[in-house]
């Protein structure tokens, strides 16, 4: 079996403590140290992420780890620097609050070996809670990144890759333009890996599935197993719709307005449903209705901002987030 070389990119924002745990799991990989590098990209953290990262690098000379600081807020810009700084064939992305099993890279490499046509590989994601969460959150763990296509390795066009456990050939990623804009702090302005996934799907590029390449997404019950946090995630997903209409598909203001009116109508419908569920004492359905209202309601002010704010419109379509590889960037270290 051919051993490909990997560049593991970890973008981080104000999570110094969990970042160390993620790096520990990367240093413990059973893959040859000569065949992977780790790239930490600090996206303007205000905690002690830089000091922690530099100390970690000094304390772990056996693993090649590089560190970069990106002052511009936005995960897409952090990923951009990571991509340009990488020097290997396969780019692997994971989160600063992710724990990777020791065979993580080995299992990804094994799936890439199934076919040279495979453009990328998705790895399994499970949610790891710090304490026992409320029962209802199990219905929403996909919002927290959970991904599972079963126990069998496979590859096919259209498989979704969550950026917490995403692996892609570097030349393919650059060719399709990289990720769309995504997180700025805690909030989305675009559809991130979903935009990448759509471009790969349109080109009929096969994506592999590595069920044993598990990433455990560490979540905090008091923060993430709350209605407020899940509501925020539904709002972010809603925002992606007008973003795509305007910035990606370029369908214009008329389509934006049509979608905004539709969102307002759906928001009213879900409010009526929520009242019915409340009267029926159906707590589970009331909760889901709240999230659907948030999904549609978020699209209205976002759309109005696009229509009325020229600076915001310009920021969405200037495409400064696209990765353009240069010979100098290719040799960055």
Tell me the pLDDT tens digit for each residue of 272-284. Answer: 999 999 999 999 9
Whether pTM exceeds 0.75:
yes
Tell me the pLDDT tens digit for each residue of 47-71. Answer: 999 999 999 999 999 999 999 999 8
Distance from C-alpha of 50 to C-alpha of 68, rounded to nearest angstrom: 9
Q: Is 192 left (phi over 0), alpha (psi -120 to 50) or beta?
A: left
Contact 188, 240 (CB under 8 A): yes
Residues whose CB falls within 8 Å of the CB of residue 48, separated by 6 or more in sequence, listed in order? 16
For residue 186, the model assigns a pLDDT of: 45
Cα angle, residue 64 at apex, residues 63 and 69 outer, rounded to 5°: 125
Lowest mean pLDDT among 122-126, 191-195, 229-233: 191-195
Distance from C-alpha of 130 to C-alpha of 222, rounded to nearest angstrom: 9
Lowest mean pLDDT among 21-30, 55-64, 285-294, 323-332: 323-332
Distance from C-alpha of 291 to C-alpha of 139, rounded to nearest angstrom: 12
- pLDDT confidence tier of residue 262, bands split at 50, 70 and 90: very high
Residues whose CB falls within 8 Å of the CB of residue 219, separated by 6 or more in sequence, listed in order? 97, 127, 128, 129, 130, 133, 144, 225
CB count in 10 Å sphere of residue 194: 19
Average confidence score pLDDT of the chain = 91
Residues whose CB falls within 8 Å of the CB of residue 117, separated by 6 or more in sequence, listed in order? 155, 205, 206
The string over 116-141, giving b where at least 16 C-beta atoms fall within 10 Å of a residue's C-beta and e elsewhere, is eebbbbbbbbebebeeebeeebeebb
Q: Name the residue among 35, 43, 10, 47 with its Cα closest to residue 25.
A: 10
For residue 333, the model assigns a pLDDT of: 32
Instruction: Give the dihedral of Cα atoms 260, 264, 266, 267; nearest 10 deg.
Output: 130
Q: Is the pLDDT of residue 332 over 80?
A: no
Lowest mean pLDDT among 11-25, 61-75, 206-220: 61-75
Tell me the pLDDT tens digit for each residue of 145-189. Answer: 999 999 999 999 999 999 899 999 999 998 887 776 654 444 455
For residue 179, the model assigns a pLDDT of: 75
Distance from C-alpha of 159 to C-alpha of 152, rounded to nearest angstrom: 14
Owner of token pair 């379509």: 317
Q: Is the pLDDT of residue 330 over 70?
A: no
Distance from C-alpha of 273 to C-alpha of 271, rounded to nearest angstrom: 5
For residue 329, the model assigns a pLDDT of: 40
Q: Is the pLDDT of residue 325 over 70?
A: no
Q: Name the residue among 255, 261, 242, 211 with its Cα closest to residue 101.
A: 211
- pLDDT confidence tier of residue 192, bands split at 50, 70 and 90: low
Superfamily of domain 6-224 in the CATH hierarchy: Spore Coat Polysaccharide Biosynthesis Protein SpsA; Chain A (3.90.550.10)
Beta strand pairing call for 98-100 and 65-69? unpaired
- Domains of the chain, by residue range, sit at 6-224, 227-317
Q: Is the pLDDT of residue 331 over 60?
A: no
3-state SS assignment for residue 144: helix
Beta strand pairing call for 165-169 and 120-129? antiparallel
């Amino acid at each position: 079996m051919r051993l490909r070389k990997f560049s593991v990119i970890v973008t981080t924002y104000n999570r110094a403590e969990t970042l160390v745990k993620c790096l520990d799991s990367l240093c413990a990989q059973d893959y040859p140290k000569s065949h992977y590098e780790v790239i930490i990209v600090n996206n303007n953290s205000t905690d002690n992420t830089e000091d922690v990262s530099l100390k970690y690098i000094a304390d772990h000379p056996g693993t090649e780890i590089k560190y970069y600081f990106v002052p511009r807020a936005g995960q897409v810009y952090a990923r951009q620097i990571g991509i340009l700084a990488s020097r290997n064939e396969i780019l692997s992305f994971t989160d600063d609050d992710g724990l990777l099993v020791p065979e993580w890279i080995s299992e990804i490499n094994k799936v890439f070996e199934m076919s040279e046509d495979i453009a990328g590989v998705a790895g399994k994601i499970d949610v790891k809670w710090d304490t026992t969460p409320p029962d209802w959150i199990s219905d929403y763990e996909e919002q927290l990144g959970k991904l599972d296509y079963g126990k069998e390795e496979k590859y096919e066009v259209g498989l979704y890759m969550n950026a917490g456990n995403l692996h892609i050939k570097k030349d393919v990623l650059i060719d399709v333009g990289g990720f769309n804009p995504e997180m700025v702090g805690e909030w989305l302005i675009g559809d991130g890996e979903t935009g990448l996934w759509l471009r790969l799907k349109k080109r009929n590029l096969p994506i592999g599935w590595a069920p044993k390449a598990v990433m455990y997404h560490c979540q905090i019950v008091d923060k993430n197993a709350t209605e407020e946090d899940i509501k925020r995630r539904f709002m972010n997903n809603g925002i992606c719709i007008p973003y795509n209409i305007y910035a990606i598909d370029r369908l214009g203001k008329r389509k934006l307005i049509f979608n905004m009116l539709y969102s307002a109508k759906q928001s009213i419908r879900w409010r009526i449903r929520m009242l019915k569920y409340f009267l029926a004492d159906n707590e589970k359905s009331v909760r889901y209705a709240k999230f659907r209202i948030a999904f549609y309601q978020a699209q209205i002010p976002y759309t109005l901002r696009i229509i009325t704010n020229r600076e915001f419109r310009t920021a969405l379509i200037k495409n400064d987030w696209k990765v353009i590889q240069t010979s100098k960037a290719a040799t960055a270290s």
